[in-house]
Amino acid sequence: MSTGYVWEEIYGWHNTGNWAGAVPAGLNAQPYQHFESAESKQRLASAIEVSGLAKELTKISVVPATIDQITMVHDSLYIERIRKDSESTFGGDAGDGLSPFGTGAYEIALMAVGGAIAAFDAVASGEVDNAYALVRPPGHHARPETGMGFCIFGNAGIAIKNGMKKFGLKKVAVVDWDVHHGNGTQEIFYADPNVLTISLHQDQLFPPKSGYAKDQGIDAGQGFAINIPLPAGSGNGAYLEALKEIVFPALEKFAPEIIVVCCGFDAAMTDPLGRMIVTASGYREMTRELMKIADKVCGGKIVMTHEGGYSPTYVPFCGLAVIETLANTTTEMKDVLAEFWDALPDQKVQEWQVERIKNIKSQLTFLSDN
């Protein structure tokens, strides 16, 4: 059993400036750090080294994605704008005014896509059993003609398009458990029945008016997009319930050749942007259960690409839990807060959450068709 791992130091150099969270610094807000700073990612990479986990992983080398690969998803004018703005000493913005970047962001974003591609290819080719690509900037909000939500290029979407062509794959499934709707990945494959996209997210958090249960794809892709908008406050029990009630039956029915997880840790306790309460043990359990389904449907082939997660102190525990599970190991680095946070009464799935999940399931044509 081997688990591939992608991390490049340059990912930590993606410069999102001195914003105060999501507010531009200036007379309105004292300069601080943008929410999407390097901290949570670099600290996870560091924990992977210090815990000894890195020694049990297969490091995957990364080369920048090519323009041909990026244009499988993105508009040429958009790519060129990012390249030009990224040359400037002032940097630019990916497109929504919330996603600033500094000099060199273009090259770093190409490396992030390259990391997702390398991880996908390593799993698809059988070089490793599964893989975790700890990449930055994130990608699941990036749309074909513009970046948004701190994302520049659609890392996972491009890796899937590229990998399906390269390996002649017919069916790939995406499970996005970042707390925000995976709108970019969904849009890329919205009319495509060969890629099933499933997003679990906090209802209406970001982007606004996106990720409704009724949004299920168009044309030939009708039914092949699944959205599971969970209520704020959902914890380990609610997430597992949604996985078991909707995600796993959908995966079994679709029978993908490979499962790509857009892995965000912003549904975790203490995240400054999400209002969910998932803990490191919750992520461990979610990964363990997903691996059982992957064993059943696609020989265990799972590729995870890192998305959001903005708690610099808690993301490392959540990331370790997921990657340890993928690698079928544990380290001595423990989440000591589990004693408190796993015991919260709201970690158990609540009756009203069960009802909400049932209601979402009842709307899904993918699961109702025979």
**Count of residues of this chain found to bind Zn ion when the rule CB under 5 A is applied:** 5
Q: What is the largest CA-CA distance in the chain?
A: 59
* Closest CB to Zn ion among residues 40, 325: 40
Least distance CB 176 / Zn ion (angstroms): 9
- In angstroms, the CA 323 to CA 53 distance is 8
Region from 183-191, 217-225, 227-235, 308-316 binding Zn ion, contact rule CB under 5 A: 308-316
* Closest CB to Zn ion among residues 69, 185: 185
Least distance CB 179 / Zn ion (angstroms): 5
Residue from 154, 217, 308, 316 binding Zn ion (CB under 5 A): 308
139 belongs to the binding site for Zn ion (CB under 5 A): no
- In angstroms, the CA 249 to CA 285 distance is 17
Span 74-93, contacts to Zn ion by CB under 5 A:
none
300 belongs to the binding site for Zn ion (CB under 5 A): no
* Closest CB to Zn ion among residues 97, 168: 97
Q: What are 152's strand-pairing partners?
A: none
Residue from 92, 221, 264, 300 binding Zn ion (CB under 5 A): 264
180 belongs to the binding site for Zn ion (CB under 5 A): yes
* Closest CB to Zn ion among residues 8, 178: 178
- In angstroms, the CA 35 to CA 56 distance is 31
178 belongs to the binding site for Zn ion (CB under 5 A): yes
* Closest CB to Zn ion among residues 3, 40: 40
201 is catalytic: no
* Closest CB to Zn ion among residues 120, 206: 206
Region from 21-29, 64-72, 173-181, 254-262 binding Zn ion, contact rule CB under 5 A: 173-181
266 belongs to the binding site for Zn ion (CB under 5 A): yes
Residue 148 CB coordination number (10 Å): 20
Least distance CB 110 / Zn ion (angstroms): 22
Least distance CB 238 / Zn ion (angstroms): 17
- In angstroms, the CA 122 to CA 33 distance is 35
Q: SS in 3 state form for the chain?
A: CCEEEECCHHHHHCCCCCCEECECCECCECCCCECCCCHHHHHHHHHHHHCCHHHHCEECCCCCCCHHHHCCCCCHHHHHHHHHHHHCCCCEECCCCCCEECCCHHHHHHHHHHHHHHHHHHHHCCCCCEEEECCCCCCCCCECCECECCECCCHHHHHHHHHHHHHCCCCEEEEECCCCCCHHHHHHCCCCCCEEEEEEEECCCCCCCCCCCCCCCCHHHCCCEEEEEECCCCCHHHHHHHHHHHHHHHHHHHCCCEEEEEECCCCECCCCCCCCCECHHHHHHHHHHHHHHHHHHHCCCEEEEECCCCCCCCHHHHHHHHHHHHCCCCCCCCCCCHHHHCCCHHHCCCHHHHHHHHHHHHHCHHHHCC
Least distance CB 10 / Zn ion (angstroms): 22
Residue in the shown chain whose Cβ atom is closest to Zn ion: 308
> Which one of the listed residues 34, 74, 141, 201 is annotated catalytic?
141
Region from 22-30, 100-108, 171-179, 346-354 binding Zn ion, contact rule CB under 5 A: 171-179
Least distance CB 266 / Zn ion (angstroms): 4
Q: Tokens for 273?
A: 């942007």
* Closest CB to Zn ion among residues 122, 263: 263
Least distance CB 278 / Zn ion (angstroms): 13
Span 3-42, contacts to Zn ion by CB under 5 A:
none
Region from 12-20, 157-165, 262-270, 354-362 binding Zn ion, contact rule CB under 5 A: 262-270
Residues that bind Zn ion (CB under 5 A): 178, 180, 264, 266, 308
- State the catalytic residues: 141
